[in-house]
Amino acid sequence: MASRTLTSRRWRRPPFISNAYLRWGLLAAAILYLALAYATTEVNWSRVADGLPRAKRFLLSFFPPDFTSRSEDILEGILESLWMTVVSTVIGILISIPIGLGAARNLAPTPIYLLCRGIVAVSRTFPEIIVALFAVKLFGFGAFAGIIALSIGTIGFYGKLLAEDIEDMDPVQAEAVKATGSSWFQWLNYAVQPQVIPRMVGLGMYRFDINFRESAVLGIVGAGGIGATLLTSFDRYEFDSAAAILLIIIAIVMAVEYSSGYIRKWVQ
């Protein structure tokens, strides 16, 4: 009896990118890029090594953080951050409502649509901190400049999402309200607004959260808030105060995040 070897077939996982040329091309490009990046990035390793004991000291200063010795500055900074957050979120959302309505394709005529989309695009382009840098030059140091920067950021964010939400709404309901002979504002109030409000409340809370986090850094360029206190404590190597501020920021962000979850459930 002649023996026959069975040709074994081995299964292999299908690759993530099915085109072989693309796959190897991307890999080669990635390796080339990494090599280039490594060659051109200057890292002062001795300075990094010097920093390690300081890193250890910084980490140790979290146990325990020093809330007391700078408590007045910290409290003032945190409160200012919170005021800025509230004011800028409210102003930003109030301005972004008409802009969002105008930027919705199914609501606005073309010239208004283009204008509002333009406003949204412009206010989204630059990071808040750069806007704040200019606001400080124009309006002077302090929370007002920060509010301007955060409001502009909010307009871009909220206007865009509001417009997209209105564009995604159910046209049947809108049609039904219109068929009753409602005026434009009634139509807006009874057909459009109930459809978008649950998501928009959630997004408003989310933006509040973002604005608070941003307000914590605006102080670096002099636009008010806790950032200035944090910058000072780092500059003076007072790591235990800095640790306290960071922990407070984390705690507030977590509190806002959890409460926004509850509010969203309550609205929906």
Choose the stretch contacting another protein; rule: CB under 8 A; options: 54-62, 149-157, 168-176, 180-188. Answer: 54-62
Residue 127 found at the interface with another protein (CB under 8 A): yes
- What's the distance, CA 65 to chain centroid? 28
User: Smallest gap, in angstroms, from Cβ of residue 166 to another protein?
Assistant: 20
Which CA distances in Å does 32 have to 22, 29, 35?
15, 5, 5
Handedness of CA 130, 127, 58, 251 (dihedral sign): positive
Q: Which of 163, 192, 156 is nearest to 175 (CA)?
A: 192
79 lies in the binding site for another protein (CB under 8 A): yes
Q: Which two tokens stand for residue 170?
A: 């159910």
Distance CA 109, CA 103 (A): 9
Tell me which of 75, 90, 97, 188 binds another protein, using CB under 8 A: 90
* Span from 52-60, 103-111, 155-163, 178-186 in contact with another protein (CB under 8 A): 52-60
Q: Tokens for 263?
A: 């509010």
Pick one of 133, 152, 196, 244: the residue that binds another protein (CB under 8 A): 133
Residue 202 binds another protein (CB under 8 A): no
**Cα 221 from Cα 228, distance rounded (Å):** 8
* DSSP string computed for 179-247: HTT--HHHHIIIIIHHHHHHHHHHHHHHHHHHHHHHHHHHGGGTSSSHHHHHHHHHHTT-HHHHHHHHH
Tokens of residue 46, six digits: 């001795």
206 is a site residue for another protein (CB under 8 A): no
User: Which residue stretches of 61-192 are H helix?
Assistant: 71-102, 110-125, 128-139, 143-167, 171-179, 184-187
Q: Tokens at residue 31, please?
A: 């390796």
Count of H-run helices and E-run strands, the chain: 11, 0
Binding-residue pattern over the window 161 to 190 for another protein, x denoting contact by CB under 8 A: -----------------------------x
Q: Could you say whether residue 217 binds another protein (CB under 8 A)?
A: yes
* 22-51 footprint of another protein as x/- string (CB under 8 A): -----------x---x--xxxxx--xx-xx
Contact residue for another protein among 155, 174, 223, 230 (CB under 8 A): 230
Q: Which stretch binds another protein (CB under 8 A): 2-10, 76-84, 108-116, 165-173?
A: 76-84
> Among all chains, which residue has been given the structure tokens 């208004």?
112
Which residue among 97, 112, 115, 220 contacts another protein (CB under 8 A)?
Answer: 220
Residues binding another protein (CB under 8 A): 13, 16, 33, 37, 40-44, 47-48, 50-51, 54-55, 58, 79-80, 82-84, 86-87, 90, 125-127, 129-130, 133-134, 137-140, 142-144, 147, 190, 213-214, 216-217, 220-221, 224, 227, 230-231, 234-235, 237, 242, 246, 249-250, 253-254
